[in-house]
Amino acid sequence: MPFPPNPIPHLRRIHHHNVHTFKSQPLAELSGSLGDLGTLLPLMTALVITHSISLPSTLLFTGAANILTGVAFGIPLPVQPMKAIAAVAIARKFTLEENAAAGLVVAGLVGLFSVTGLIAWANRVTPVPVVKGIQVGAGLSLCMSAGTTMLVPLRWTGPWWGDNLLWAVAAALLLLATSAYPKFPYAMFVFTTGVALSLLAPTSSESPTPSTPLIPILHPSAHDFWTATSTASLGQLPLTLLNSVIAASALAADLLPSPPYPPTPSVTALGLSVAALNLVGCWFGAMPACHGSGGLAGQFRFGARSGSSIVFLGAVKFSLGVVALWNAQPIVSVLAGIPKALLGVLVLAAGVELAKVGESVNTDARDLRVFDAERAWDGKRVKELDGREKSERWVVMLVTVAGVLAFRNDAVGFVAGLAWHWGFRGARGVREWRDGGEYAEEERRGLLAGEDVGVVA
């Protein structure tokens, strides 16, 4: 069952776990709460500057979601931006209505798939190479957006001493130097430096001011929904279903098994959580958000072992949201004044981190893992692929990436990747029919591995 029949004992156990864990290791929990800010901060900042989200709404609703998630699940489950939507929104400068429509479409479909049990079906029909291609394409789009809109316009000495290519080079070198120290809070360090420089920046009459109410009530049009669905939502949907729901649940079971930790959230519970967050917050200009296996892994690596870590983070975000609600202009001005050199490197790093998922398409992707009788994976056993299979999976991912980047449209990449995937499947069926099954038998024996595709198995 997705939820316990009697939630009171369940919540009481989670509360005890959260309190006990925080009392026994407070520094680890506080450190772990920062594990996903490297993704949140640059994307949220860029979306605020492009007027695609409301800052007070985002802080209030995502902060409340952090608190409720920590209380309900008792694990360091993140509330992070929907990266594919954020990448498209930043690149295309989505309006508040278009961004809200993108989140609402994904949330509605995720909620529908959750209550009807269709998440498992979506997992089966969406090939992993296509999903990874969408992720890689979204990450590279984010990198391109960071370069063209933030870094390319800079000069070595301008536009002022706190924002130039020298700062960008310094931030990039620091990123490289700290790559061997994963616990170094790089994003927080660079972001704090950017805030300090923003406070020292010369005042500008061009500083953006909120052009909408602090908590807007949005009414996306049919055109907004069409634009959002065709450019962002369709690409985000498989990522949310697979990464934010299915993969997050599986990773929680691996990292935080029950007992001694609280029961692992089911995919239905996580799907409904994502749907509720966006079906409420997006109408008020909040950033489309979801959970994610990457954020969970980051927070776990930095020490978080309970929901108390994200309850703390949520309380901080909610408090800042209240301040922004009282007077958002100073916060918006500070965010807008952050040097583009530093913000560009942060967004670039976030894009690279998202694109890195493509490296596992032929190694330990989820569809290659071999599970035991208890549906557990030991982290080592994977299905062996021959040269042709590796090449086909790689090409499907690249075609998907090419569609995303060439047309700046995730939907095009998604359809192109699916077409190539089923094209390869159809070609294989034709070969097997033509050769009367002999080709398939030879392929299983590995005699054709690497032939005709120029790949060494």
Contacts of residue 166, Cβ cutoff 8 Å, sequence gap at least 6: 156, 157, 341
Residue 235 vs residue 23, higher pLDDT: 23
Alpha-carbon span 409 to 85, nearest angstrom: 11
Measured distance CA(209)–CA(150) in Å, rounded: 20
pLDDT of residue 326: 79
Q: What is the pLDDT of residue 200?
A: 85
How high is the pLDDT of residue 28? 77
With H, G, I as helix, E, B as strand and everything else as coil, classify residue 271: helix
Evaluate whether 158 touches 259 at the Cβ level (below 8 Å): no
For residue range 14-67, what is the model confidence (pLDDT) as tens digits? 888 888 888 888 877 877 787 677 678 778 878 887 888 888 999 999 999 999
SS3 382: strand
pLDDT value for 101: 94
User: Mapped to the 3 state alphabet, what secondary structure does 65-92 carry?
Assistant: HHHHHHHHHCCCCCCEECHHHHHHHHHH
Q: Which pLDDT band, with edges at 50, 70 and 90, does 447 fall under?
A: very low
In this predicted structure, the answer to whether residue 114 has a pLDDT above a threshold of 80 is yes
Residue with tokens 């529908």: 112
Domain spans of the chain?
Answer: 7-354, 386-450
pLDDT > 90? residue 315: yes
Nearest CA among 196, 210, 259, 214 for reference residue 17: 259
Instruction: Determine which of 75-79, 122-126, 388-392 has the lowest per-residue pLDDT on average.
Output: 122-126
Identify the CA nearest to 132 among candidates 415, 385, 401.
401
Q: What is the pLDDT of residues 274-311, one digit of tens each?
A: 999 999 999 999 999 998 776 777 777 667 888 898 99
Mean pLDDT for the chain overall: 79
Q: What three-state secondary structure class fits 289? A: strand
Structure confidence at residue 1 as a pLDDT band (50, 70, 90): very low
